[in-house]
Structure formats: structure tokens, C-alpha cells
Amino acid sequence: MHKKVFLLVLLSWLLSVQLVKAQDSFTQEDRERLIRLETTLKVFMDQVDKRFEQIAKRFEQVDKRFAELREDINKRFEQVDKRFEQMMTFLWILTAIFTTLVAVVIGFAYWDRRTIIKRAKEETIEQLEREGKLKDLIDALRELAREDSRLAEILRYYRLL
């Protein structure tokens, strides 16, 4: 049993020496590795930061382009609205001109009809007076009015003498 205890103590001592040796195994080479790892990590972080800055710049450029496009689209809409208003104004002017022309043509036709009817009536009466039996009757009455004063008054009243 003594042997067993001795072996156990020896084994535990060997293990503890290994553990102490394992803990002290941080050598100069490990330190250099850590330094290289830190510098590599720092370079990597700097590159990542630069790329994020580039991405941010690109986003700003894209935002600027969108803003310019929005402004261009707004200008185009304003131009289209202005053109539409001009077209509507032009259509109103054409409508007013057409309405005026129609009113003038209708007025002229009405005036022309009245003038033609009046002139035709006068010409018909003149023709009847010149050539018709009415003319002969009026001439006969005028001859008779030279002798009859009462008939002369009546013819003067109706402006036939």
C-alpha cells in the first residue's frame, strides 16, 4: 500500500510539473505571434473602415443622384403642367373664336334674310304698281280726283296722289 501511495504521489507530482510547465510555455515566439496577429487585425480593421467609408460615399452619391432625378422629374411634371395649361388656354381661345364666328354668321344670315325679304317686297309692290291693274286703278282714281275734291283728300291721306 505504501507503494501505491508513493506511486500516486509521484504521479501527482509529475502531473503538477507538467501543468506548471504548460503554464510557463508562453514564449517569445508566442508574443511575436500575438504582435503580428494584432498588427494584421489592425490592418484588417483599417481596411474594413475604409470600405465602409467608401460604401457610405457611394450611398451619398446614390442619394444625390436620386435627389437630382427627383428634381428632374419634378421639373418635367411642371413643364407638362405648363404645356397642358397652355393647350387648355389655346382650346378656350379656339372655342371663343368659333362661337364668335357662329354668332356672326347667324346674325349675318338673319340680317341678310330680312334685307332680301324687304327688298323683294318693295320690288313686288313697285312691279305691281307699274304693270298691274292696281296701277291702272290708281291712275283712274287720280284722274277722277282732279274733278272730285273729296277723293283727292282721301288719296292724299294715303299718299297715292
pLDDT in tens, 1-28: 777 777 777 777 777 766 555 555 678 8
High-pLDDT (> 90) share of the chain, %: 48
Cell numbers describing residue 107: 346674325
Q: Which amino acid is at 20?
A: V
Q: What is the pLDDT of residue 8?
A: 73
Taking CA atoms, 76 is separated from 71, 73, 80, 88, 90, in Å, by 9, 5, 6, 18, 21
Q: What is the pLDDT of residue 20?
A: 53
Cell numbers describing residue 57: 460615399
Q: What is the pLDDT of residue 28?
A: 86
Q: pTM value?
A: 0.42
Measured CA to CA, the distance from residue 97 to residue 103 in angstroms comes to 10
pLDDT of 133 above 80: no
H or E segment to which residue 121 belongs: helix 28-131
The overall longest dimension of the chain from CA atoms, in Å, is 197
High-pLDDT (> 70) share of the chain, %: 92
111 neighbors 125 (Cβ within 8 angstroms): no
Taking CA atoms, 113 is separated from 101, 102, 123, 125, 130, in Å, by 18, 16, 15, 18, 25
Q: Which amino acid is at 21?
A: K
pLDDT of 139 above 60: yes
Q: What is the pLDDT of residue 118?
A: 87
Pick from 29, 48, 50: nearest CA to 40: 48
